[in-house]
């Protein structure tokens, strides 16, 4: 039997080829009820998109994007305990995602889930009424639960390490590889007593990838003096100062840049006698040496993967879910200086 085509599906339903094609790509100009009807018929007939034909049509749509506009939803969450600095990271994710979506002929709209104003159930109704079938989930500080969306209608991508309710494809920085890369760089610069300062929840939500990479690197580099990781429930001055005075790390790796002032209180001169590496310069306004997660690239890649799912007519919870990891980029800054002659610097 020949493979069913869009023309065959249109003939069976008495619809135009254009309507069927747009419905299978999830474009908002087709009514949600019609999209479901077409998708059900396509599945029953065993329709599978031709990737080569899709590639050609994608190139045509890219050159005529204003004529082929589909909708995507960027979904963020209201969380009272989320760190304030994460707003800069989220804004960059959306900026990168929106720019790439526009290049591919889609419009990325932002929705903020809030138990009082916009519940997940209400969001589900809004997205279906607008014919939006691509969901671009922003990182949540606590374990996110977006399972009450009717996922038979959506393709999704999560822009952080992992999500379980439901388990979706995700895109994230490669935290383990990035920590090892940062440690290798500062070791080449002559630092020998690195210490890491982390907020416990920040590491737990990544399944201890920051601490795991740090400890593994220490254990396999005999030239380094071992400094135990300082992991606290909240960023606190007193325990940090006790730790810093007792172990005297010559460089501190962490997210919390106010710790630089605490180092100075202990007699540390940054970058003179001690250095500081920010583990995510994208979230901090203070200029530091450290890791750039490149959130605009993460956002753009996430949108690419989401649109690819829509073009393949893939909806629902994937099995298994996969994760794409992109290593952070090193950024030089004023909080580090070479400790030995001829130490390499630069990206």
CA–CA distance, 347 with 343 (Å, rounded to integer): 13
Q: Of the spans 10-14, 17-21, 32-36, 204-208, which averages the highest pLDDT?
A: 204-208
pLDDT at 166: 97
Q: What is the mean pLDDT of residues 204-210?
A: 96
Average pLDDT, stretch 64-75? Answer: 74
Mean pLDDT of 114-118: 88
Output the CA angle 326-332-337, nearest 5 degrees.
135
Query: Are 185 and 330 in contact, with CB atoms under 8 Å apart?
Result: yes
Percentage of the chain exceeding pLDDT 70: 91
DSSP 165: B
**pTM of the predicted model as reported, rounded to 2 decimal places:** 0.80
What is the pLDDT of the chain when averaged over all its residues? 91
- Over 80: is that where the pLDDT of 206 sits? yes
Q: Do residues 263 and 274 make contact, with C-beta atoms less than 8 angstroms apart?
A: yes
CA 157, chain centre distance (Å): 9
User: In the structure, what pLDDT confidence band is assigned to residue 342 with cuts at 50, 70 and 90?
Assistant: very low
Per-residue pLDDT, 235: 95
Are the CB atoms for 266 and 245 separated by under 8 Å? yes
pLDDT tens digits, one per residue of 160-178: 999 999 999 999 999 999 9
Look at residue 22 and tell me whether its pLDDT is greater than 90: no
Q: Residue 113 contacts by C-beta under 8 Å, 6 or more apart in sequence?
A: 75, 76, 77, 78, 119, 120, 123, 146
The pLDDT assigned to 346 comes to 34
Q: Which residues on neighbouring strands pair with residue 118, listed in sequence order? A: 114
Size of the chain, expressed as the number of residues it contains: 347
Query: Which region among 56-70, 81-95, 101-115, 139-153 has the lowest average model confidence (pLDDT)?
Result: 56-70
The angle that helices 6-13 and 32-45 make with each other, rounded to 10 degrees, is 120
Rounded mean pLDDT, 59-82? 75
Q: What is the pLDDT of residues 208-265, one digit of tens each?
A: 999 999 999 999 999 999 999 999 999 999 999 999 999 999 999 999 999 999 999 9
């Amino acid at each position: 039997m020949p493979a069913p085509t869009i023309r065959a599906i249109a003939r069976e339903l008495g619809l135009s080829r254009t309507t069927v094609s747009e419905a299978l790509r999830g474009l908002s100009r087709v009514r949600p009820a019609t999209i479901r009807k077409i998708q059900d018929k396509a599945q029953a007939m065993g329709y599978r998109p031709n990737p080569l034909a899709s590639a050609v049509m994608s190139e045509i749509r890219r050159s005529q994007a204003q004529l082929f506009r589909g909708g995507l939803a960027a979904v963020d969450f209201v969380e009272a305990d989320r760190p304030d600095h994460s707003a800069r990271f989220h804004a960059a994710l959306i900026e990168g995602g929106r720019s790439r979506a526009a290049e591919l002929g889609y419009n990325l709209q932002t929705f903020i889930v809030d138990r009082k104003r916009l519940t997940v159930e209400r969001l589900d109704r809004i997205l279906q009424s607008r014919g939006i079938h691509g969901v671009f989930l922003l990182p949540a500080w606590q374990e996110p639960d977006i399972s009450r969306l009717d996922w038979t209608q959506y393709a999704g991508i999560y822009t952080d390490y992992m999500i379980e309710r439901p388990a979706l494809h995700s895109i994230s920085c490669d935290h383990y590889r990035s920590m090892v890369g940062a440690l290798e760089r500062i070791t080449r610069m002559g630092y020998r007593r690195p210490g890491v300062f982390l907020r416990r929840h920040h590491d737990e939500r990544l399944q201890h990838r920051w601490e795991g990479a740090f400890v593994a690197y220490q254990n396999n580099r005999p030239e380094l003096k071992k400094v135990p990781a300082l992991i606290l429930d909240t960023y606190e001055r007193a325990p940090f100062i006790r730790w810093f005075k007792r172990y005297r790390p010559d460089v501190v790796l962490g997210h919390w840049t106010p710790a630089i002032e605490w180092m100075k209180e202990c007699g540390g001169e940054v970058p003179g006698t001690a250095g500081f590496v920010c583990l995510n310069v994208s979230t901090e306004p203070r200029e530091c040496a450290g890791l750039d997660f490149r959130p605009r690239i993460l956002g753009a890649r996430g949108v690419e993967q989401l649109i690819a799912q829509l073009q393949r007519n893939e909806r629902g919870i994937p099995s298994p879910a996969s994760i794409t990891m992109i290593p952070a980029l090193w950024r030089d800054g004023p909080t580090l200086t070479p400790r030995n002659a001829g130490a390499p610097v630069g990206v």
